[in-house]
Amino acid sequence: MNNISIVLADDHPLLLKGLEDFLIEQGFNIVASVENGKEALNKIQELDPDLAILDIEMPFLSGIEVAKRCAEIAPHTRIILLSYHKGPEYILKAKDANVNGFIIKEDAAREVRDCIRHVLKGEFYYSQALRNINTEETDEYVRNLQSLTSSQLKVLRMIANGQSTKEIAALLHLSIRTIEKHRSNISAKIGLPGQAHQLSQWALQVKHLL
């Protein structure tokens, strides 16, 4: 395994050191160990490692953002994400970013070797704890959100935060009629009837994806 080069990134120093020590004991070659997404991206671009194992939430750039940029600047490097999050939206975001592996942090010591083995074979690997999660409903939410314009997403975020049409219009310096039109267009795109309360309920359901 000592010919497999790995960049590690996690903004929790103790977790980062523990993972680094564990992987070195397993015979892997850790070429860089950093504490934020910007440094991770720089090291990946500089060193072109076989793997990058990244915390999903880091300062400056998230693991997802690093993975998306690596698709252009370091396509050879395969990406494994580490996270405490078990929600289906995180799995979908990882797949959308062409991430190769997704491990729940508490399972990392037990699963990271298997994950690396699968990923190096070109397979997608995610933790056992995630394999029974149904992503179909979340996948539909994501598809609907992707159909919206940036302006519509901005309005939807404000609806999800409980702001009224009048409040949104004032904050965005637009007319109430314009915000009502946005609401109507959003509802049409996602297949909701025109009632305002139904869009508000839907916005709350997808708030974690916005």
By the 8 A CB rule, do 209 and 89 touch? yes
Low-confidence ranges of the chain (pLDDT < 70): 1-2, 86-89, 92, 128-139, 194-196, 208-210
Rg over CA atoms, the chain: 20
pLDDT of residue 139: 64
pTM: 0.64
Cβ-in-10-Å burial (0-12, 13-18, 19+) of 55 comes to: buried
Tens of pLDDT, residues 29-71: 999 999 999 999 999 999 999 999 999 889 999 998 999 898 8
- Give the pLDDT confidence score for residue 108 in this predicted structure: 78
9 by DSSP, 3-state: which? strand
Fold of 5-130: Rossmann fold (3.40.50)
Give the span between the Cα atoms of 180 and 167, in whole angstroms. Answer: 12
Mark residue 58 as left, alpha or beta (left: phi above 0; alpha: psi -120 to 50; beta: remaining). Answer: beta
> For the structural domain made of 137-209, what CATH number should be given?
1.10.10.10
55 DSSP β-pair partners: 82
Tokens standing for residue 202: 């839907």
Q: Where are the domains of the chain?
A: 5-130, 137-209
Q: What pLDDT shows up at residue 72?
A: 86
Q: How many residues does the chain have?
A: 210
